[in-house]
Amino acid sequence: MLLVMTAAVAACIAGCSKEDIEAAREAGTNAVSKVADKTIELSDEAKGVVDRTKEHIHERIVKMPEETTRQAAEILGAAGEGAKDAGELLNEHAVSLQEGLEFRSKDREK
């Protein structure tokens, strides 16, 4: 809240009109919206990469000898863990972004 009050005082000193302040708020909202859109886009791209990789690997596994298939299963297990970790990081980013938006929204209501 102190940050909002400081920004309001700075805007008054700078001679900003209410319209200027509203335009700045809108620009900030648009910027946050773009970040959220990009996060969703990256998530969709990551899912596409995972799906294509799974198809490619499945096609290759069908043609492999048994020992090679066992080794591939171990490698895929490790790759799956890596993908899981990447997904968790992406989820943490999304949650952090959401929390920031909620905080800003609550701060504006005050």
DSSP notation for 1-48: -HHHHHHHHHHHHTT--HHHHHHHHHHHHHHHHHHHHHHHHHHHHHHH
7-33 confidence digits (pLDDT tens) = 665 666 666 677 776 777 777 777 777
Q: Average per-residue pLDDT in the chain?
A: 78
- How buried is residue 41: exposed, middle or buried, by Cβ count under 10 Å (0-12/13-18/19+)? exposed
The model scores a pTM over 0.85: no
68-85 confidence digits (pLDDT tens) = 888 888 888 888 888 888
Mean pLDDT (whole number) for 76-103: 85
| pLDDT higher at 98 or 28 | 98
Closest CA to 94 of 58, 34, 31, 40: 40
In whole angstroms, give the CA distance from residue 72 to residue 91.
28
**R_g (Cα) of the chain, nearest Å:** 24
